[in-house]
């Protein structure tokens, strides 16, 4: 009896392992912003990504000089540079779908009621003290909203990578976006893995094998063409970040 239970457990674990290797998770890039009424990095794009069953959604964050974290891709919104402005100047700005630009706090409040995982991209701030303050604020906000288990971090900023690894709770996944570091270097830094541009990973397919051997995860961006999606599914990418989540979902299921 004990033997049977053990073999069933082993089988279940093997199946879980196989599925995790074979099936990349779908990460909506800046939310599902091509959906109707949506816009990049809007609350609507987060809700839409969740409603179609994406495993995760990515968004970008900047902090104002007086310490409010906003969700936006570009450093500026309607000509206002977020990192050099006050929150009161930024908060009045609207996204192309008419929504006010969300603060991180507002986005996390919306995420609390959803199931989707969050991939938070820390943007590189010119002032590294400000960036450190942003890291502390982001981590505290995620904790306050009870979303630590559902949130991972990505960044192009090397200092930001080090700060996130140092200050986020143990076990938090932090990934590097700036394609120049090898899996072994990332492992040494304590990163969870790499999240590199598709052209980097097409040139260096061996980084998939090396990452697996080191126990690191792999994510690729921004993969919108079917041919690229199929190529990365075959390579066993753990995550694929895309502006076309519904197409990727169909290919992953197939």
**What is the binding site for Mg ion (CB under 5 A)?**
60, 121
- Give the residue closest to Mg ion by C-beta: 121
Q: Shortest gap between Cβ of 26 and Mg ion (angstroms)?
A: 16
Q: Shortest gap between Cβ of 13 and Mg ion (angstroms)?
A: 34
Nearer to Mg ion, 55 or 121 (CB): 121
Q: Shortest gap between Cβ of 96 and Mg ion (angstroms)?
A: 17
Q: Shortest gap between Cβ of 221 and Mg ion (angstroms)?
A: 8
Nearer to Mg ion, 108 or 187 (CB): 108
Q: Shortest gap between Cβ of 60 and Mg ion (angstroms)?
A: 4
Q: Shortest gap between Cβ of 219 and Mg ion (angstroms)?
A: 11
Nearer to Mg ion, 210 or 219 (CB): 219
Residue in 243, 223, 249 with CA at minimum distance from that of residue 39: 243
Nearer to Mg ion, 107 or 210 (CB): 107
Q: What is the DSSP string of the chain?
A: -HHHHHHHHHHHHHHHHHHHHH-PEEEETTSSTTSTT--TT-HHHHHHHHHTT-SEEEEEEEE-TTS-EEE-SSSEETTEEGGGS-HHHHTT-B-TTSPBPPBHHHHHHHHHTS--EEEEEEPPPSSHHHHHHHHHHHHHHHHHTT-GGGEEEEES-HHHHHHHHHHSPTT--EEE-STTS-HHHHHHHT--EEEEEHHHHHH-THHHHHHHHHT-EEEEE---SHHHHHHHHHHT-SEEEES-HHHHHHHHH-
Strand partners, 236: none
Q: Shortest gap between Cβ of 30 and Mg ion (angstroms)?
A: 6
Nearer to Mg ion, 50 or 60 (CB): 60
232 touches 240 (CB < 8 A) = yes
- Buried b / exposed e along 122-134 (16+ C-beta atoms within 10 A): bbbbeeeebbbbb
Nearer to Mg ion, 50 or 121 (CB): 121
């Amino acid at each position: 009896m004990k033997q049977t239970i053990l073999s069933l457990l082993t089988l279940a674990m093997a199946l879980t392992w196989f599925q995790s290797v074979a099936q990349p998770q779908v990460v909506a890039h800046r939310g599902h912003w091509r959906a109707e009424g949506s816009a990049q990095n809007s609350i609507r794009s987060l809700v839409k990504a969740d409603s179609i069953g994406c495993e995760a959604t990515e968004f970008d964050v900047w902090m104002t000089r007086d310490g409010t974290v906003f969700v936006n891709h570009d450093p500026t919104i309607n000509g206002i540079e977020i990192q050099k402005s006050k929150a009161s100047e930024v908060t009045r700005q609207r996204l192309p779908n008419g929504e006010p630009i969300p603060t991180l706090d507002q986005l996390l409040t919306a995420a609390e009621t959803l199931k989707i995982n969050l991939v938070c991209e820390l943007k590189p701030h010119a002032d590294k003290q400000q960036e450190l303050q942003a890291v502390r604020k982001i981590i505290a906000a995620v904790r306050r909203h009870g979303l630590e288990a559902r949130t991972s971090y990505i960044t192009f900023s090397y200092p930001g990578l080090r700060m996130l690894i140092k200050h986020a709770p143990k076990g938090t996944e932090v990934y590097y976006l700036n394609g120049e570091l090898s899996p072994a270097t990332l492992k040494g830094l304590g990163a969870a893995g790499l999240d590199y541009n598709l052209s980097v990973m097409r040139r260096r397919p061996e980084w998939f094998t090396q990452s697996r051997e080191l126990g690191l995860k792999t994510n690729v961006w921004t993969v919108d063409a079917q041919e690229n999606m199929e190529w990365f599914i075959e390579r066993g990418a753990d995550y694929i970040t895309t502006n076309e989540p519904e197409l990727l979902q169909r290919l992953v299921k197939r």
